[in-house]
Amino acid sequence: MSIWLLVHPTLAFLAAPLLPGIINRTKAYFAGRDGQPLLQTYFDLAKLFRKGAVYSRTTTWLFRAGPILSLGAALMAVVLMPLGELPTVWSFQGDFILLVYLLAVGRFFTVMAALDTGSSFEGMGASREMQFSMLAEPVLLVGLAALARGTGCLTLSDIAANISWQAWSQYGEGLILIVVALMAVFLVENARIPIDDPNTHLELTMIHEVMVLDHGGPDLAYILYGSALKLWTLSVLLVNIMIPIHTDLLLLNVVVSLLGVLCWAVVVGVIESTMARLALIRIPQFLVGAGALSVLALILIKK
């Protein structure tokens, strides 16, 4: 049993940078390009770790602490998140609230580091990031609360273990609403296309990208790795709901869930390739709509 505890964190730490690679390859396929190698994020990380960092004299310790603290929050979020039936190292009543606030802490320090540079562009990005995440946070919290209400469990691993095909037949309509709302949160949190374009380099339209412009070397590597881990955590959350596989064979469950995560990355690539970016002023409306869906799910799901 004890060896199973370490399976998901190890897998996540090793395989998380693969997800951006899969998404980029899918987008490249849709655009008719060859695209970058699947392992490009690993190469980037290796390159950045070999380099030194340059710090502006106007910045303080906050700027240096930001990337490390946000990576720390992302690492803890991975440890909290169960993959299907795999037990987590650390689990307690109400740990899904901690998950939401770990994501918030990571974001807070990224924003602090951005504001610390004193650059007006980074300030703009920070303000946008906070505005949208302020709307996205209740969606995630209410969505998870609806899941907790449906399954009658208060820990993430119990919730994941109790979502089954039977749950889908009992309150499937609520689960569909939760999945759609959490997809919106996923796209906001990971700066994906209908909300933010991870590839854009036009300062006026950037949100997340603009906040990390002044980081370089190992700091940028921490940020890249942290965002890959965040992508992995939220993907696993969605896959746990969408593919509730509970066979007797634990290994089979793990393999199916992993394949689900990889397929989900392809789906995200398809969403990014087929949708246009929303105008900035339309994003709050999009998020409020997602919030309405998760509140509706909370109302509809009853145990």
Partner 1 sequence: MHSRIDIIFTLIILANLLLLSSSRLGTCINVAAIQGLLLAVLTLATRTDEPLIQTSILILSTIVLKSIVFPQLLQRAIRDSETRREMRPYVGYAQSIVVGMVVLALSLWLGSKLPLPNPTISPLALPVALFTILVGLFLIVSRRKAVSQVLGYLVMENGIYVFGVTMVHESTLFVELGVLLDVFVGVFIMGIMIFHISREFDHLDVDRLSTLKD
Number of neighbours of residue 118 by Cβ within 10 angstroms: 13
Residue number, 226 or 291, with CB nearest to partner 1: 291
CA dist., res. 216 & res. 55, Å (int)? 9
* By CB under 8 A, residue 300 contacts partner 1: yes
Q: Angle, nearest 10°, between helix axes 283-300 and 165-189? A: 160
Convert residues 229-268 into a mask of x (bound to partner 1 by CB under 8 A) and - (unbound). ----------------------------------------
- Nearest approach, Cβ of residue 155 and partner 1 (Å): 27
Residue number, 198 or 291, with CB nearest to partner 1: 291
- Nearest approach, Cβ of residue 196 and partner 1 (Å): 18
Distance of CA 171 to the CA centre of its chain: 25
The residues in 143-172 that bind partner 1, with binding defined as CB under 8 A, are 169-172
Residue number, 179 or 300, with CB nearest to partner 1: 300
Residue number, 175 or 265, with CB nearest to partner 1: 175
Q: By C-alpha distance, which of 232, 212, 246 is closest to 63?
A: 212
Number of neighbours of residue 184 by Cβ within 10 angstroms: 23
- Nearest approach, Cβ of residue 289 and partner 1 (Å): 6
Residue number, 80 or 139, with CB nearest to partner 1: 139
Q: By C-alpha distance, which of 229, 247, 297 is closest to 77?
A: 229
CA dist., res. 195 & res. 202, Å (int)? 15
Q: Which of 144, 163, 177, 229 binds partner 1 (CB under 8 A)?
A: 177
* Residue the block writes with tokens 């994501």: 103
Q: Which of 68, 179, 263, 296 binds partner 1 (CB under 8 A)?
A: 296
Q: Which of 39, 173, 201, 275 binds partner 1 (CB under 8 A)?
A: 173
Residue number, 132 or 225, with CB nearest to partner 1: 132
Q: Which residues 6+ apart lie within 8 Å of 19 measured at CB?
A: 228, 231, 232, 235, 261, 262, 265
* By CB under 8 A, residue 33 contacts partner 1: no
Residues, the chain: 303
CA dist., res. 72 & res. 210, Å (int)? 21
Query: In the structure encoding, which two tokens stand for residue 187, read together?
Result: 């796209």
CA dist., res. 35 & res. 21, Å (int)? 9
Are 51 and 217 in contact by the 8 Å Cβ rule? The answer is yes
Residue number, 92 or 173, with CB nearest to partner 1: 173
* By CB under 8 A, residue 288 contacts partner 1: yes
* By CB under 8 A, residue 275 contacts partner 1: no
- Nearest approach, Cβ of residue 288 and partner 1 (Å): 4
Residue number, 37 or 289, with CB nearest to partner 1: 289
Are 109 and 66 in contact by the 8 Å Cβ rule? The answer is yes
Kindly state the number of chain residues that form the binding site for partner 1, as judged by CB under 8 A: 16
* By CB under 8 A, residue 285 contacts partner 1: yes
Q: Which residues bind partner 1 (CB under 8 A)?
A: 169-173, 177, 284-285, 288-289, 291-292, 295-296, 299-300
